Amino acid sequence: MKKEKGFRDVFTIDTLPKKMRKFENGIVNLDISTGSGTHWVCYYNDPQSDFVEYFDPFGVEHSITIPNGNYMISELNEEIEDHFNGKSPIIFDVYQARSRFIIKLDKGFTIDFEGGNLHEILGFESKVYDQPKQRGKYIADISKGIDDIFIHCDLITSLYNEGTSDILYLFSPLNPPGSMIVINEINPLFEEVNRNDYIDSVRMYITDQDDNIIDLNHQRVIYKLVLD
């Protein structure tokens, strides 16, 4: 870069020279010198103009991989913020009235949803978004179609489904998009054990309304079973 005609140096925002030379150009990080670094721009001083032009780093792509896990909207934003080592140019929010996600982009940034399936979960189309604020076209499906959650236990024969079920408890999540599933305090419901001999094992599992096993993404689940 130092061979570039007029190139002066690389600066942070607080170390820029007070007086610029004719045809001077350089690179600036918009963080201070003691910071961790944020957005990079370049500038050019044209003596024929009474202002200095600056440019975003056109064409620079950031491929962001979200690790496996269960995320609230705030935690998703934290992951993206960590990628940029500071203030993120991409922020997700929620439009509660219509259960849609919102993308907020800093000037000069776009987000490409043409690869992967994150856009399906968040309710966006498979395309590039480039406007400062955009709302998802579809209702967010952060629960992946799970409307009801059933907790099963093979030690009981419950009253659900006319007494032919091993469902111990069921509930319908009412949490808004972008938040974790929260279960309010459960009123204990005691069922008779369907075994008369000794118990050498217990199987408990969780399904959705279509009896599909719910993938909890390797998250730890703790069951507390009270036998009286």
What DSSP character marks residue 69? Answer: S
Confidence of residue 104 (pLDDT cuts 50, 70, 90): very high
pLDDT digits (tens, 9 = 90+) for 28-54: 887 788 877 777 778 777 777 655 665
Q: What average pLDDT does this structure show over 74-92?
A: 87
Nearest to 110 by CA among 65, 73, 56, 178: 56
Which of 63-72, 124-133, 216-225 is the most confident on average? 124-133
What DSSP character marks residue 156? Answer: B
Q: What is the residue-wise DSSP string for 104-171? A: EE-TT--EE-SSSSHHHHHT--SSEE-SSEEE-SS---TTTT---EEEEETTB-BSTTTTTB-EEEEE
Q: How many C-beta neighbours within 10 Å does residue 87 have?
A: 12
